[in-house]
Amino acid sequence: MTIRAYFLPFLLFSIALFAACSGPPERGDSYVITMKDNFFEPAELRIPVGASVTFVNAGEAPHNAVASNGSWSTESAFGSLIMLAGDETTLTFDEPGVSPYYCTFHGTAQGAGMYATLIVGDETVVEEVEPVAAPERAGESVTRHVPADYPTIQSAVDAAAPGDLVLIEPGVYREQVNVSTPNLVIRGTDRNAVIIDSEFQRDHGIFIAGADGVAVENLTVQSARINGLFWTNVTGYRASYVTAIDASVYGIYAFDSTDGLFEYSYASGSRDSGFYIGQCDPCNAVIDHVISEYNALGYSGTNASRQIFLLNSIWRNNGVGIVPNTLDSELLPPVKEVTIMGNAVYNNGRMDVPMRAGEWPINGNGIALMGNKRSLVERNRITNHWNNGIYVAPMLDDNFYSSDENIIRNNVVEGSGRADLALGGPAGPGNCFQGNDAATSMPPGLSTLLSCNGPRLPLRLELTAFTDMAGRAVQGAQGWNPQIPIGSVPKPPPQPQMPGGAEAPVRPAVNVFADYPLDMDAITVPDLPDGVTVTQTKTPTLFGLLVGGYWINTLFGLYGGLALMSLFALWLALALWDLSTDTARRSRGSVLGWTGAILFVPLLGLIAYYVAGKSRLPVWARLFLLIVPLLVYIAVVLGTLLGSGAI
C-alpha cells in the first residue's frame, strides 16, 4: 500500500474541515477597496466596527474616496485628494453606520458615477430603488366586469389593456387565468366569495408570466395542481387581501421577479410553502401582515436575496415557519441578506400537514436560515417548536453552503424542544446572537460566546443538527415522513375584506418597493394571540442528539458526529501519550517538534506523525486506527444517504 492510498480520505476530511473554517473575512482582517477607472470595487462592502480599509488606486486616472456626508475622506490619511495610479492609503472606521462615498473627480455625492457604499457594523441598509416612469396608456382605465361583461375571468383579461381593472363578482370560477398583459389589476368584489377553483385539475389559479405590474386583490384561489398565484419573470407584482388554499406546491409565489409585495394575504394547506419568493437579487420585495398556516413551510425563499423583508406576519401551525434557503436547483445561490422582523412564529413543527419529502428534514423549527449569508432575524416572537426556535444551519445540495455572518438579535424565543437558539455546523464565520430573550441554546452558551458585540468564539462544528437533517432526508426519500393528503387541513374562517372593496383606487403594481412605506424602527416584538401559551417543554439531549429521536437520526448522530469528534480526540491522545512517554528513544527536540507539528498543523500534523513520526504503535495498528473507522463512518452515513436516494 502506498502512502497516497491511505492519505486520500484524510485529505478529504481535512479539506472539509478547513472549508468549514474558511469563509468571509472577520473582525481583525484587513479590507481592500480598489479604485478603478471609474468605479469602486466592491460596490458595497460590509466591515466590523473598528476595522481598517485600504483604498488602492488600481486604475490609470487619479482617484479619491470621500463620504457623501463629508464625515471621512482619503485626503485625511493620504495627505492629498489626488491618489495616482498605485497609490494606497488606509482608514479606520470606528463609528457604525451606512456610509455612501464617491470619487470627487468621477462621481457625485448624490450617487452618480463613481460611487459606492461602505457599511460599518450590523446596520440594515434599505437601498433606494429608482422609480420607473408611470406606464403610458391611451384613455382612462376601463373596468371589465366579470361575469356581467365577460363570462370568464380569462376573457376579461384577454380583452383588457394595460391599466384596466378586471372586477369579479362572487362565484366559483373553474378556470386557469393566464395573464400576459402588463399593469392589470385583477380584483374580487368579495374576498371570501370570489373563488378561482382549480379542482386539482388545472396548474395555477392565476398565472402571470412576463407581464409586469399585475396586482391581484381581494379574492380566493384554491386547489391548484401547482400554485395558487404565480408570477414569473416580471418587474412589479402585488397580492393584497388574497386567500390561497390547498395549493399542491406554493400558495402565493413570485419567481425570477423583482419589485413586489404580498400583504394582508393568507395561505394554508400548501404542500410546499404558503408564500414563496424565489431566485431574485436584489428582490426589492416585502411580505407584510400576512398569515401562513398548515403549510409544509410558512415561507420559503430559495436564493431570494437582498432587499427582501418579511415583516409583521403570522407563521403558525406549519411544518416550519420561515425558511430562507439556498438550493442549486435555482439560479443565484446562495441566499443573502434577508430581513425577518416583527413576526409571530408559533406552533410550527406540525406533522399533520401536507409536505413533500424535501421539507421533512427541517420540520419542527420556527425560523430556519439554511445556507444564509448576512441575514437579519430581529424582534420576532418564536414560540412552541419541538426542534429549534431559531436554527442557523448549513445547506447541502450539489454544493455545500454554510451559513455566515447572520445576525440574530432581540428576539423572544420560548418553548423549544431542542434549543431556543441553535447554530448547526459546519457553520461559517460571523454568525452572532445578541439580546435575545431565550433560555436554551445548542451548543450551549451561544449568546455569551457568539455575541454580536463581544467576542465570537468559533463554535462552528456542532454536527448533530446536520446529521439530524441527514437522517430525516433518508426518511423522506423512503417515504417514511408523514403522508398527509392535500385538502385535509382546516379551512380558514372568512378573511377580512380589502378596504374600499370594489371602489378602491386602481393601482397596478408599478414602483411597488419604491412607494412602500418601510418603517422598521417602529416594529416591536409581537405578543402571542389570546389562547396561545407556551406548551412545548425542553427535551433532553445527549451528545447534542434529542433523546428518543428516530433511530436513524441517532445512528447518523453517532457515526457522523460523535464518532468523528472522538476519533480526532483519540488520534490526538494516542500520539501525545506516545511522544511524551518515549523518552528513552527520543530527543527532547523530537518530542517538542512533533508535539508542535501535531498541535499547530490541524489534522495534517497528526497524520504526518502517524506516517513518518516513528510512533511506537505497530504499523498495523496505526493503519487500522487511521483508515478503517473513518471509512466506516463515511460509509455508514454516505452509503445510507445514497442508498436511500436522499442525495
Partner 1 sequence: MQTFLSLYLYILPIALYATWVGIGLWEIVTRPDMGRGAALGWMAVILLIPVLGILAYYIAGKSAIPAWQRVTLVGGGVLAYVVLYAVGSLAGGVV
The residue ranges that bind partner 1 (CB under 8 A) are 439-445, 447-448, 538, 542-544, 558-559, 562-563, 565-567, 569-570, 573-574, 577, 617-618, 620-621, 624-625, 628-629, 632
| Least separation in angstroms between CB 471 and partner 1 | 15
| Least separation in angstroms between CB 569 and partner 1 | 3
Is the CB of 354 or the CB of 424 nearer to partner 1? 424
| Calpha distance 116→38 (Å, rounded) | 11
Q: How is residue 303 written as a grid cell?
A: 436564493
Is the CB of 262 or the CB of 571 nearer to partner 1? 571
H or E element at residue 432: strand 432-434
Is the CB of 186 or the CB of 438 nearer to partner 1? 438
Is the CB of 45 or the CB of 562 nearer to partner 1? 562
| Least separation in angstroms between CB 440 and partner 1 | 5
Q: Indicate the burial class of 130 (C-beta count within 10 angstroms; 0-12, 13-18, 19 or more).
A: exposed
Is the CB of 81 or the CB of 617 nearer to partner 1? 617
Which residues, listed in sequence order, are joined to residue 300 by a DSSP beta bridge? 276, 323
| Calpha distance 174→153 (Å, rounded) | 10
Is the CB of 331 or the CB of 621 nearer to partner 1? 621
Sequence-ordered list of residues with C-beta below 8 angstroms from that of 271, at least 6 positions apart, any chain: 247, 248, 249, 295, 296, 354, 355, 356, 486
Sequence-ordered list of residues with C-beta below 8 angstroms from that of 179, at least 6 positions apart, any chain: 157, 186, 206, 207, 208, 209, 211, 214
| Least separation in angstroms between CB 628 and partner 1 | 7
Is the CB of 345 or the CB of 563 nearer to partner 1? 563
| Calpha distance 424→391 (Å, rounded) | 7
CB 194 within 8 A of CB 169: yes
| Least separation in angstroms between CB 441 and partner 1 | 7
| Calpha distance 287→218 (Å, rounded) | 16
| Least separation in angstroms between CB 420 and partner 1 | 9
- HSE on the CB side for 487, CA within 13 Å? 8
| Least separation in angstroms between CB 624 and partner 1 | 6
| Least separation in angstroms between CB 270 and partner 1 | 35
CB 348 within 8 A of CB 364: yes
Is the CB of 523 or the CB of 611 nearer to partner 1? 611
CB 498 within 8 A of CB 592: no
| Least separation in angstroms between CB 450 and partner 1 | 12
Q: How is residue 373 written as a grid cell?
A: 449569508
Is the CB of 402 or the CB of 554 nearer to partner 1? 554
CB 387 within 8 A of CB 418: yes
Task: Give the SS3 label for residue 607.
Answer: helix
Give Rg (Cα) of the chain.
28
